[in-house]
Structures are given as C-alpha cells and as structure tokens.
C-alpha cells in the first residue's frame, strides 16, 4: 500500500537513452518513451522547418 508521502514526491522525469536495454521496461513505460520521442521528433521537425525557411529567406534576399 502506497503511503500519502509517496504522492507528494515529484515523479521521476521520463528520459530515454538511445540504445539502452528495454527488457526491464513495462509496456506502460515503453509507451511513455514512445510518446516522449514522438514529441521530440515533432519539435525537431518544427525547428528544422523554421531554419530552412530562414535560410531560404536569406538566400532569396541576397540573390536580389
């Protein structure tokens, strides 16, 4: 039975190390990591898109 004090403790932040052993993780933990990595991929894609747009704008400006 979990004590009330356990509820007050901050939950450990989910992190993932590329290539780490997955055999000790539960299905729930694997799904959390999939969600985490999917969000990170989306964030990276947005950043790349913004940089590409900025680069294209600079190239267009200097070609004029």
Q: How far apart are CA 58 and CA 55, in angstroms?
A: 5
Work out how many domains the chain is built from and give that number. Answer: 1
Give domain status of residue 4, yes or no. Answer: no
pLDDT of residue 4: 61
Sign of CA dihedral 34, 38, 44, 47: negative
Tell me the per-residue pLDDT of 5-58, one tens digit each, with 9 for 90 and over: 666 777 777 788 999 999 999 999 999 999 999 999 999 999 999 999 988 888
pLDDT of residue 46: 97
Range of the domain at 63: 31-64
pLDDT of residue 9: 72
pLDDT of residue 60: 86
Give domain status of residue 41, yes or no. Answer: yes
CB 28 within 8 A of CB 47: no
Give domain status of residue 3, yes or no. Answer: no
Q: Which residue has the tokens 């680069």?
A: 55
Q: How far apart are CA 11 and CA 14, in angstroms?
A: 9
Q: How far apart are CA 2 and CA 28, in angstroms?
A: 19
């Amino acid at each position: 039975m979990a004590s009330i004090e356990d509820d007050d403790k901050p939950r450990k932040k989910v992190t993932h190390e590329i290539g780490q052993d997955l055999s000790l993780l539960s299905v729930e933990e694997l799904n959390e990591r999939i969600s985490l990595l999917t969000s990170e991929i989306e964030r990276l894609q947005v950043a790349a898109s913004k940089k590409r747009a900025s680069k294209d704008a600079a190239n267009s400006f200097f070609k004029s």
